[in-house]
């Protein structure tokens, strides 16, 4: 059974972009093909929740080879997109300018596919932010259907 959504996505205004891609990458160091978030539409520091999205396009680097004639957005890129979301949130909440490196992923379950033309909506809920590491629970949705969930851990480097 899919995990219960951290927020009611029907209450999120996806036309009200709080942070665009340029704003996201003022904190996140990723560049070129690895700028995976397109926008952030909800930030709740009290509940420790953030909502962002990625619009999957036909000209992306993985399309040709994963999988020919049936391109599927790779699960590892779903996880990376989620990691960038919670990384942005942790950097914003703490005000730190350290690099937040990937430290692990646990309890990931894939429940659906993401294909060209889909909007992958990501929800992150920070579980902990400490001096040496942080972690957040993440969920991904396409058309209100959960396609994955798990926990991402990061380490300050």
- Sorted by where each begins, the domain ranges of the chain are 9-156
Question: How much of the chain exceeds pLDDT 70, in percent?
Answer: 99
**32, pLDDT greater than 80:** yes
Find the length of the chain.
157
Superfamily of domain 9-156: Hotdog Thioesterase (3.10.129.10)
Instruction: Give the model's pLDDT for residue 3.
Output: 80
**1, pLDDT greater than 80:** no
Separation CA 91–CA 82 (nearest Å):
14
Instruction: Give the model's pLDDT for residue 134.
Output: 97
Contact 77, 61 (CB under 8 A): no
Separation CA 104–CA 86 (nearest Å):
13
Instruction: Establish whether 66 is a catalytic residue.
Output: yes
Question: CB burial class (10 A; 0-12, 13-18, 19+) of residue 131?
Answer: exposed
**121, pLDDT greater than 80:** yes
Q: Does the pTM exceed 0.75?
A: yes
């Amino acid at each position: 059974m899919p995990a219960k959504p951290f927020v009611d996505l029907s209450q999120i205004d996806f036309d009200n972009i709080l942070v665009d891609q340029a704003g996201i990458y003022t904190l996140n160091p990723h560049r070129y093909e690895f700028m995976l978030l397109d926008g952030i539409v909800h930030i709740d520091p009290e509940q420790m929740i953030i909502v962002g999205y990625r619009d999957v396009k036909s000209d992306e680097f993985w399309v040709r080879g994963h999988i020919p004639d049936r391109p599927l957005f790779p699960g590892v890129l779903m996880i990376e997109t989620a990691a960038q979301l919670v990384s942005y949130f942790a950097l914003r909440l703490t005000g730190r300018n350290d690099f937040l490196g990937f430290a692990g992923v646990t309890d990931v379950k894939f429940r659906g596919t993401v294909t060209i033309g889909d909007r992958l909506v990501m929800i992150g809920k920070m579980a902990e932010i400490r001096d040496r590491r942080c972690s957040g629970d993440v969920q991904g949705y396409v058309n209100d259907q959960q396609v994955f969930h798990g926990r991402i851990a990061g380490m300050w480097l």
